[in-house]
Structure 1
Amino acid sequence: MTTLTADLKKTTKKATKKVPVRGMMDNVMEQFNSAADQINLHPNIRKILSITNNEILVNFPVKMDNGEVEIFTGYRVQHNNALGPYKGGLRYHPTVDLDAARALAMWMTWKTSLAGLPYGGGKGGIKLDPSKYSEGELERITRRFTFALADNIGPEHDIPAPDVNTNSQTMAWIADTYMSTRPPAERNANQHIVTGKPDGSGGLEGRDRATGYGVYLTIKFWAEKNDVNLEGKKFIVQGFGNVGYWAALFLERDGAKLVAVQDAYGCIQNQKGIAVEELSKYTKINEGSIADFPDAKPVNKDKFFGLDCDIVIPAALGNQITKENASKIKGKLIAEGANGPTNVEGEKILLDKGITIIPDILCNSGGVVGSYFEWLQNRNGEIWQLDEVMAKLDKKMKESFNKVYDYSKNENIDMRTAAFCIAIERIEKAYIQRGIFP
């Protein structure tokens, strides 16, 4: 089994855990409308931002290793591009559909706007279980999907990135396919068609840790604002993939203690602390699973969010914190490493308990900020070093955090509503200044 196929099979086992996606659009719309009411958003602009610009559905054939042809369905939802090209990930998962893509695309619009990036929001993917296909089949599926999307994506129009069950290799295939379909004189100028590429194919050094590092930074900034010392603070992480691992590692380096982890295989805890690097090494030889890690004991998965801790980091999939489990949470801070991990009902319970939520469009925005750096690097023909990338990311994340935190305090509102207000006001300003054609 090749490395890529093995990695995809591992991540698919995590991702195929049954997670409710119904209601994601309801969640994002309620969040949007709450912020729109807060800032008295112009009704015409509210109408525009309440819908997506484009919803692309493509059905395409791919020949399998056995010679048979399968038909796949791919999606790309482009929510808004008032501030720049659409930006957002592509996921390979059986639950991919238009409703989920719409919600995720809208969140990307707010995320890129809040970060001050020259981007809009988009999202999409292919409805499939990648663990059922060989690496050669996945390559052909990816290349045929790219070809089917044709001119619906482009380095100045819509720039995909990795998401659930896609990775740097997937992005390399997309980039190569897209560039191969351009006229010869334009091929090298289109390397920034995707971000999240391998280092040797135009990728950004440090992009692998950008999202998790951003999660850590927002926790650190919150702690500084509230005179909280992270030394000895207990935190739990749901999802020990790329985001969860890096966030945990940087927190551990600041003296915080990882005491519980949950993934699709189960839950483990050790109130004395779980060594992040040791757990990571264990998962690499245990097919990605945290189960049976020798330095922790198993816990019923339904008790995970009720475990004793100071900080909770949901870094898996959406709709994980709900009215059924929000009341059990003991931590005083929720740092949303995943997109949409807290639904509206769950959030109301948390806020009533006085728990602070660092919202996803701020907390996990380090990934899209890193993608922006990669896009700039490719566009300008530059190569940035790791220390330079991390310093730029630190500065950008601090600017965003301070804006949201100060807005929240000044207006006496929660941080999610504050983040949405800032993001929507920036887009509203663009529409007011430019007008609406014709």
Structure 2
Amino acid sequence: MTTITADLKKEVKKAPVRGMMDNVMEQFNSAANHINLHPNIRKILSITNNEILVNFPVKMDNGDVEVFTGYRVQHNSALGPYKGGLRYHPTVDIDAARALAMWMTWKTSLAGLPYGGGKGGIKIDPSKYSESELERITRRFTYALADNIGPEHDIPAPDVNTSSQTMAWIADTYMSTRPPAERSANQHVVTGKPDGSGGLEGRDRATGYGVYLSIKFWAKKNNVNLKGKKYIVQGFGNVGYWASYFLEKDGALLVGVQDAYGSIKSANTIKVEDLFNYAKANKGSIVGFPYSEPVSKNDFFSLDCDICIPAALGNQITSENAPFIKAKLIAEGANGPTNVEGEKVLLERGIAIIPDILCNSGGVVGSYFEWLQNRNGEIWQLDEVMAKLDKKMQESFNKVYDYSKEEGIDMRTAAFCIAIKRIEKAYIQRGIFP
């Protein structure tokens, strides 16, 4: 790994701040140029199919009415129904939803799934609302979206600040709007449901397990033993926790964690289960964990480690902090955590990146398994689910890694090329109506 040069430092300081849509479009165009994508298909894939914005009123616990704004962007359905999460966060807007929907199109295509890409959510800070208020907000949002989602049309899933409970509310509300004879056949309108409501056993860990598998596959390709390797995780929610859980079992050492409340580090190791239980007892916060010391937010990514797992929000690794990252591998557990300028710095320094559309695709693969299970009236056991997930992730990783080596390109560009070529093939074979 090379050190940051003075010239590059000077260059990255001047880099403009980009939105998520700017990042995904630059990534798309770079791959499209590499494969000489047909100009007509480039035009189609550069825009979204549908963009839904809904404003809806909800009565609060105190009797007041608040009006919320929700979004659902459907990017492309050439390979199948739109698929993608719903997030509840103050940063949700149409630009973010467009970018995330486009990333989902590439992610589902790369994984070889019969899906397109969609994304959305509500512009809201869920910590400011009671559970009963969140239930009413979710149900009213579902009602507003009802004609734009469906088990063979657009299938939402959990994302930032949404959960299996959120999905259960959506499924119940959606099924309640269907004719009685059709209700049971619409259970797979969402994935990520609780086990007792049609959910897939193991879906809770699928994304984090996929991140772990990607790291394991990369380590094997590069003759790296994970035992004793230090790693840091940004975001200790579902993805960060499960990725850490499986890495710890392989002997890797968690030495730093950052969440929305603060950052911590340890000179030795942070026990994953101890931190999970501590956060659970402290309203989700890792701050004050007794076997650690605090770290400033700006210093987190510069912690001494071998592996860095950004598993929170987008645009976290930028030209400002990328020069100081000490990790040899970035495993993207979040969607779009590294912006274009930050990635240029990392690649210049010889730092490997497992891109989001590959690294965190275990979640959408698990969603596909759940959708199939519901559709076919089956119940899959945990060991069967994990074995299928392992096989699917291995196939995707090998395709991307081998293509990147053959073409002499980075893994993100390789992943985009493979994903886009599959969609291009569908358009060429079917033609464009009329």
TM-score (norm 1): 0.94
* 8 A Cα contact 1:282 1:290, kept in partner: yes
| Mapped partners of 1:255, 1:133: distance in 2 | 40
Aligned to 2:223: 227
* 8 A Cα contact 1:21 1:319, kept in partner: no
In the alignment, is residue 371 of structure 1 matched against residue 376 of structure 2?
no
1:59 CA drift (Å): 1.3
Aligned to 2:61: 65
* Partner SS for 1:196: coil
1:22 CA drift (Å): 5.5
In the alignment, is residue 77 of structure 1 matched against residue 73 of structure 2?
yes
Aligned counterpart for 1:305 among listed residues 301, 311, 314? 301
In the alignment, is residue 407 of structure 1 matched against residue 403 of structure 2?
yes
Q: Give the alignment's Cα RMSD to 1 decimal.
A: 1.2
Aligned counterpart for 1:338 among listed residues 323, 334, 337? 334
In the alignment, is residue 148 of structure 1 matched against residue 147 of structure 2?
no
| Mapped partners of 1:91, 1:21: distance in 2 | 23
In the alignment, is residue 289 of structure 1 matched against residue 285 of structure 2?
yes
- Which runs of structure 2 are paired with 1:108-147 in the superposition (5 Å)? 108-147=104-143
* 8 A Cα contact 1:259 1:269, kept in partner: yes
Aligned to 1:430: 426
* Partner SS for 1:405: helix
Could you tell me which amino acid in structure 2 is paired with residue 357 of structure 1? I
Aligned counterpart for 2:37 among listed residues 38, 41, 60? 41
- CA separation of 1:188 and 1:203: change in aligned 2, threshold 3 A: same
1:51 CA drift (Å): 0.1
1:88 CA drift (Å): 0.4
Aligned counterpart for 1:270 among listed residues 266, 271, 282? 266
Aligned counterpart for 1:104 among listed residues 93, 100, 103? 100
| Mapped partners of 1:102, 1:108: distance in 2 | 10
5+ residue gaps in structure 2?
1-15
* Partner SS for 1:324: coil
* Partner SS for 2:414: helix
Could you tell me which amino acid in structure 2 is paired with residue 198 of structure 1? P
1:374 CA drift (Å): 0.4
Aligned to 2:357: 361
Aligned to 2:246: 250
- CA separation of 1:230 and 1:368: change in aligned 2, threshold 3 A: same
1:150 CA drift (Å): 2.0
Aligned counterpart for 2:213 among listed residues 189, 213, 217? 217
1:288 CA drift (Å): 1.3
Aligned to 1:170: 166
In the alignment, is residue 179 of structure 1 matched against residue 175 of structure 2?
yes
| Mapped partners of 2:400, 2:319: distance in 1 | 26
1:431 CA drift (Å): 0.2
* 8 A Cα contact 1:335 1:363, kept in partner: yes
- CA separation of 1:45 and 1:283: change in aligned 2, threshold 3 A: same
Aligned counterpart for 1:30 among listed residues 21, 26, 41? 26
* Partner SS for 1:323: coil
Aligned to 2:88: 92
* 8 A Cα contact 1:215 1:366, kept in partner: yes
| Mapped partners of 1:65, 1:297: distance in 2 | 39
Aligned to 1:51: 47
| Mapped partners of 1:308, 1:68: distance in 2 | 50
Could you tell me which amino acid in structure 2 is paired with residue 25 of structure 1? M
* 8 A Cα contact 1:21 1:100, kept in partner: no
| Mapped partners of 1:248, 1:301: distance in 2 | 20
Give aligned pairs, total: 419
Could you tell me which amino acid in structure 1 is paired with residue 263 of structure 2? C
1:63 CA drift (Å): 2.0
| Mapped partners of 1:129, 1:297: distance in 2 | 28
| Mapped partners of 2:57, 2:252: distance in 1 | 50
Deviates more, 1:258-267 or 1:102-111: 258-267
* 8 A Cα contact 1:85 1:157, kept in partner: yes
Displaced runs of 4+ in structure 1, greater than 4 A? none
1:79-126 deviation digits (Å, cap 9, x = unpaired): 000000000011112221100000000000000000000000000111
1:60 CA drift (Å): 1.5
